[in-house]
Structure 1
């Protein structure tokens, strides 16, 4: 975390307009005093939560007009990055946009560190669902904005020359530690949740579209969080075909990507790819 703090202090144009909101587990005593003399730090100390729960708790305490999700293995490399983010937020009068920087790992493929305005978060109602235990929040948000894109509103902004480097162990830039181990052991746990929240993403996208069109916003229905779990490969292919390939609200390329990606994840989660992986 000190590395991230140092990068913020070194690259930010307006430190007086930046705050970092941290959620620290109550048993992580070594992190309870994390602070900075360069910018405002808000610490929330509490029980362990899901990843969605952590981010939602931080959102409630944040004061800024623009929210950026970040990990402690992120380092900001681009001087004046905050000026770029302010310009992005000013591009659209309604402030409805999903931005993301180049993390030098997933790059344009995923919005690893999603950037959204407070108004967008409010319109989404629950931008970081607590049902996501470890992962998929970035894919969840990306999927919502892909629905906007397919409806004719391209509000996704990727900045290749704006670098928020992700020092992930898979890039060889960080050691494999206990935190990564915890996430890796549960890396497929959120797959059913992503599928279960399809209706939630559809409703969220429709709220954003209504706001863009300046139409009355219709509240979505309550969402059933019970995800479908395939009973075998044929069942998985049928489920992913129904949920992804046949989802007419999504761009075709994104549908195809989700379909083959989830099939691959299902095969990996159930050990079918083990003979091919050393």
Structure 2
């Protein structure tokens, strides 16, 4: 998780507009490590708008993302994972500019993961307006995978799928 958070922080121009929230199952064997990480992260990344771990009952990944969305401060939700690395400096400003293309703020965007590129939104980005309209960030019916595919299909149907090629991210586990 450290590499992911560090890459997000080091590559954003305005960290004070970025919130980093994580869902940790309260029965996770490494919960004490996560609690220590959280304390260290607040000192290591002081400019983040918010950095917080939620230690709650074990839920599906889909439902845990909905808990995070409900408790977030921001207007843009980015699906993330601890094995992601952000490599483009200024990704946050680029994203903010792209969102201006949608006056009603109904969109699904995604960055270039170097694998599926423009063919699939592996880590979808949606607005609070999208979330409020659907009533969820992820559908809640999947245990782990397919949340991205579900959202991507909705965006394609609505013609609101928007690929951001010039922001690069690496999905480390997918390569190994």
Q: Equivalent residue for 1:23?
A: 23
Q: Equivalent residue for 1:156?
A: 161
> Is residue 52 of structure 2 the alignment partner of residue 52 of structure 1?
no
What displacement does 1:27 show?
A: 2.4
Q: Is the 8 A contact 2:111 2:123 kept in 1?
A: yes
Q: Equivalent residue for 1:165?
A: 170
Q: Equivalent residue for 1:143?
A: 153
The structure richer in strand per residue is 2
Q: Is the 8 A contact 1:101 1:159 kept in 2?
A: yes
The CA distance in 2 between the partners of 1:11 and 1:21, in whole Å, is 17
Deviations, residues 229-272 of structure 1 (Å, cap 9, x unaligned): xxxxxxxxxxxxxxxxxxxxxxxxxxxxxxxxxxxxxxxxxxxx
What displacement does 1:105 show?
A: 2.0
The CA distance in 2 between the partners of 1:56 and 1:124, in whole Å, is 12
The CA distance in 2 between the partners of 1:111 and 1:21, in whole Å, is 21
Question: Higher relative contact order at CA 8 Å, sep ≥6: structure 1 or structure 2?
Answer: 2
Q: Is the 8 A contact 1:70 1:113 kept in 2?
A: yes
What displacement does 1:34 show?
A: 2.7
What displacement does 1:17 show?
A: 0.6
How many residue pairs are counted as aligned between the two chains? Answer: 166
The CA distance in 2 between the partners of 1:116 and 1:34, in whole Å, is 27
The structure richer in helix per residue is 1
What displacement does 1:33 show?
A: 3.0
Q: Is the 8 A contact 1:98 1:115 kept in 2?
A: yes
The CA distance in 2 between the partners of 1:127 and 1:59, in whole Å, is 6
The CA distance in 2 between the partners of 1:140 and 1:25, in whole Å, is 24
* Backbone CA RMSD of aligned residues: 1.3
SS at match of 2:100: helix
Deviations, residues 211-243 of structure 1 (Å, cap 9, x unaligned): xxxxxxxxxxxxxxxxxxxxxxxxxxxxxxxxx
Q: Is the 8 A contact 1:100 1:115 kept in 2?
A: yes
Q: Equivalent residue for 1:108?
A: 118
> Is residue 17 of structure 2 the alignment partner of residue 14 of structure 1?
no
Give structure 1 stretches of 5+ with no counterpart.
150-154, 173-278
Q: Is the 8 A contact 2:86 2:169 kept in 1?
A: yes
